[in-house]
Amino acid sequence: MTTYIYIEMMLFVMFFVLMTATKDITTLMKPHPYNLLLAIPIATAFLPAFLQFPMEVPTVLIIPHLILIVLLTLSILTDLTYLVRHHCFNPTL
């Protein structure tokens, strides 16, 4: 494994530890109008991992990509279900 893989794994672990320690994961799972903007990071994690575009992802980094995709997708789904249940398609900030 190269140095870049170690750096990315270390950054992923630091991200996960910080999100858990600050309880931001629970905040991320609550409905908020800005959650829909998380489609952008989902695309940036999804494209390299599965379509090899714009670069190929080492197999070691597929699991962190999947974890981030699932985490961000759950956040968006939480927001969408809230909007559908409350018939609130004009979010106020």
pLDDT, residue 89, reads 58
**Does residue 39 have a pLDDT over 80?**
yes
Summarize the confidence of residues 3-29 as an average pLDDT: 91
Amino acid at 66: L
Mean pLDDT over residues 60-65, rounded?
A: 86
pLDDT at 67 over 80: yes
Residue 53 has pLDDT above 80, yes or no: no
User: Residue 11's pLDDT is what?
Assistant: 92
| % of residues, the chain, pLDDT over 70 | 88
Q: Which two tokens stand for residue 62?
A: 């597929």
State the pLDDT confidence band at 12, using cuts at 50, 70 and 90: very high
Helix (H), strand (E), coil (C) string for the chain: CCHHHHHHHHHHHHHHHHHHHCCHHHHHCCCCHHHHHHHHHHHHHHHHHHHCCCCCCCHHHHHHHHHHHHHHHHHHHHHHHHHHHHCCCCCCC
